[in-house]
Amino acid sequence: MDLGKVFRALADDSRRQVVAELAADTEDRERACGSFDLPVKKAARTHHFRVLREAGMIMQRDHGNGSAVSLPRQDIERHLPGLLQLLSEELKSGSATGRTGNTAAG
């Protein structure tokens, strides 16, 4: 696991929100890509999921008509212990969903 890729992936609010929501679900349920309330259009969302996938932060499964993501929790916990805890705690305190961070073109 490349820490650089991981931190670059988690530097974005939308991506951090995705991982945080997955991490906050202790049952590790698979979620549809569209089920995340992200303030971006489809294409950008696809981009974010790609970055997260390449950083090893999510697994993505193709349904043909749609696709779903899930959290490789054990893998992450083994290589980056404590990380998911940080993310889900940020989610609870409302920082990531509050949209206080970076937004580029808008």
Nearer residue to a copy of itself within complex by CB, 9 or 71: 9
What does 12-74 look like in DSSP terms, one character per residue?
A: SHHHHHHHHHHHH-TT---EEGGGS--SS-HHHHHHHHHHHHHTTS-EEEE-SS-EEEE--HH
Under rule CB under 8 A, residue 47 binds a copy of itself: no
Under rule CB under 7 A, residue 12 binds DNA: yes
CB of 71 to DNA, least distance (A): 16
List residues binding a copy of itself (CB under 8 A): 2-4, 7-8, 10-11, 13, 16, 80-83, 85-87, 90, 95-96, 100-102
